[in-house]
Amino acid sequence: MKNVIEFLNIDTTSLKFKDINEYVKSINVSEIDEEMLDSIIEKLSLDSRKNVNILATKLLKDINKLKAEKERVALMYNFDKSFGIYNLVAGVDEVGRGPLAGPIVSCAVILKEDSMDDHILEINDSKKLSESKREKLAEIIKERAIAYSIAFCDNKEIDMKGIGVCNNQIFIDACTSLNPKPDLILSDGYLIKNIDIENKSVIKGDTKSAAIACASIVAKVYRDNLMKEYHKEFAVYDFAQNVGYGTKKHVEAILEYGPCEIHRMSFLKNILSI
């Protein structure tokens, strides 16, 4: 804020474009109030140099982009509140239903929302986010959520019980481990069977519900990091890159070296002709 005030009090005509550009690049529009930002834009717009005027246009685009993102995320939070009067709403999602190796992982999340300041921006379906963005958001979610819980079934359980049973079980385990207990669970894709908490399913929930999107991100980051650890022991399968999914390199490694101890044998029948 001090730098903003100093900038507003400086005659920009005495500054080189390079210095003004460096200042504008350092501005985080989410950390400065709207009135201050308007003053900066006005100051840049009144400068006689066109390249400085362009900086004003760029800053305005950043502000409008932030507003649009706040509106998008607000809709996701409002979606979670649209099911009735519930004190605590949890979202639950899974990752790893389709891979040939590794566990299936779920996460359940209860988000804090006393005001719009509690909204976590950039949340979305975890598959639509870059790895670095997911990692950053996962830490923010875990720090700011009222509660979160992770559950999983390993490959041996998947082979023994079936992926559908395991998927439902980890939803139950993640949700019932939350403290405090939620009044409503929003689950991605389908209703949870045999759970004693009110539950509503949401098709494509990780793009509609804030809580489900956050659960998707935390579950994805947890499982991806687990598969990177497995890669250290089973490097020939390239788990650090494919996280267990059936890529060409992964399938070729299975055919050459055979399966390892974290492969789902029930998923390899066509590959191994068994």
Would you say 42 is a known binding-site residue?
Answer: no
Place of tokens 């399968």: 237
Would you say 93 is a known binding-site residue?
Answer: yes
Both tokens assigned to 29: 């529009």
Task: Please count the other Cβ atoms lying within 10 Å of the Cβ belonging to residue 195.
Answer: 16
* Cα distances (Å, whole numbers) of residue 138 to 109, 135, 141: 11, 5, 5
Whether 68 contacts 55, CB under 8 Å: no
Place of tokens 């399966």: 259
Would you say 94 is a known binding-site residue?
Answer: yes
Contacts of 68 by beta carbon, 8 Å cutoff, 6+ apart: none
* Nearest of 257, 238, 258 to residue 248 by alpha carbon: 238
Place of tokens 């989410």: 30
Which ranges constitute the DSSP H helices of 153-266? 155-161, 163-176, 205-208, 210-233, 239-242, 248-257
Residues in binding site: 93-94, 188
Residues in binding site for a divalent metal cation: 93-94, 188
